[in-house]
Structure 1
């Protein structure tokens, strides 16, 4: 739980403010999960703060929620292209991915249970970035990742918006954003991209597929 709240501070997710008039803040709750290793043994107990998105009101707390989702065809295209070019595919994991997505709406949530401010117990948090449970959270994260890739020189697929392609100096690189699976013709290009991603987001390399 403390680690989750530290992620909030590190990512500048929220600001503690006085309750705004005529606005009902969204509730939050802790969700606990046991993370298991390959042998089935529990290796970590994880707590995640989740917004009660079912309380959100359309037009007030959120507008658009659509975001591209995983398609079997996209995975097949990625695997077929990588196999034909001899790419080694790798995967990266973003720590608390949704906390990286900026939101456009003015959203207020209640303070997390057990961790209310001693000085301002009745104040609420105004969100700068998305929170797990919000209806627009997946869209916000996709928009942030898409923006980063486009600025880095990638071109988004014209048919499937989860596939991005980069061509640089005769080398090629492809990334599937749903699971952040990527590979390329140049080891230097792939390594440079992985370093860029790590600087932009808090990430860890999961290894080759």
Structure 2
């Protein structure tokens, strides 16, 4: 859960919170793996995939190459530009998808 600075009651709480968030924004997976805050962020993303049943593992096919994935990293800021959260996104490199093989139809829900 994301806490605002108003929700942190003491200077000690603020210091402990600041230590759990990274101000560095990694450019790639290797950089992210050097920082425990980004490792936690990636684990949160993977847990959400598991919780929401995002994918199903299937046996590898001899004649089809699997789609590759990429990690994206972004710091979330408050109104004073203080880093409040490290957000990791695991995305598929969709430009390699072929209709009928990798997907049947595609849609995006609009709220």
TM-score scaled by length of structure 2: 0.55
Instruction: Please list, as runs of the form range in 1=range in 2, the aligned pairs for 1:1-209 lying within 5 A after superposition.
Output: 1-64=42-105, 136=106, 139=107, 141-142=108-109, 178=110, 180=111
How far off its partner does 1:2 sit? 0.4
Q: For 1:62 and 1:16, locate their aligned partners in 2 and report how far apart those are by CA, in whole Å.
A: 15
Q: Which runs of 4+ in 1 moved over 4 A?
A: none
Structure with a larger share of its residues in strand: 1
Unaligned 5+ residue runs, structure 2?
Answer: 1-41
**Which is greater in Rg?**
1
Q: 1:16 to 1:62 in 2, by over 3 A?
A: closer
Q: 1:47 to 1:39 in 2, by over 3 A?
A: same
Unaligned 5+ residue runs, structure 1?
Answer: 65-135, 143-177, 181-209
Counting matched residue pairs gives: 70
